[in-house]
Amino acid sequence: MTDALDRPTSILVLGATSEIAQAVVRAVSSPALQRLVLAARPSEQRAALAATCGSVPVLEVLDFEARDPSGHAALLDGVFERGDIDIVLVAFGVLGDQEAFEADPDLAVDAAQVNYVGAVSVCLGAARLLRAQGHGALVVLSSVAGERARRSNFVYGSTKAGLDVLASGLAYSLDGSGARVLVVRPGFVRTSMTAHLAPAPLSVDADEVAAEVVRGLRRRASVVYAPRPMRLVMSTLRHLPRPVFRRLPL
């Protein structure tokens, strides 16, 4: 359970080596945090991350592969059997390259397996467990790319659109259970994953996304945008007539 100041005492991060995930953990961490579970592929990056979290009384580092849903239920069940979880952060994903996806559909299928199929597996599993314990938040990193198809990234956008609808539906399904869902819709985030791309207008860094996550959790919001003005931008883009939208450099 969260403490008297509504600070989380336990966090599970799926995709812990994500720069946004790490920023969120930093932002929500406090002296109240007693247990942190970092789930990611084995790597030097994961080991380095774990080394920075040594002050947390209970630190668990688990192997996690988004492409292999067969292992997700056992991982989640084991985490929750060892104690309640206040926040489950779903932060894994691949960006990929639109031209490469069109040239080799197998690459697009792999991206969908990670971004959508893997996320379906863990989101449904985590929601089930949060519902059973009667409290906790499922925080899902989506993207504004899923709100309307764009020529430059429609394969990636399609995977995020599916994830976004799933997470939004789970929010409805958890009504009245004590558990909840926060969908996070960042715009362009400046991380190592996007370092090869020119930053888009209203781009943010991982810490700015994390700040909006913290704000959303405190407000018990169902959706947050990063940066906040992106909500208005996307509302406008969603309603533009198709002939106008097609001429935009998106």
What residues are annotated to the active site?
A: 156
Torsion of CA 86, 220, 179, 15, to 10 degrees: -50
Secondary structure of residue 160 in the 3-state scheme: helix
CB distance 99 to 84 below 8 Å: no
CB distance 84 to 133 below 8 Å: yes
The Cα 95–Cα 220 span in angstroms is 29
Secondary structure of residue 159 in the 3-state scheme: helix
Alpha helices in 134-227 (DSSP H): 154-173, 206-219
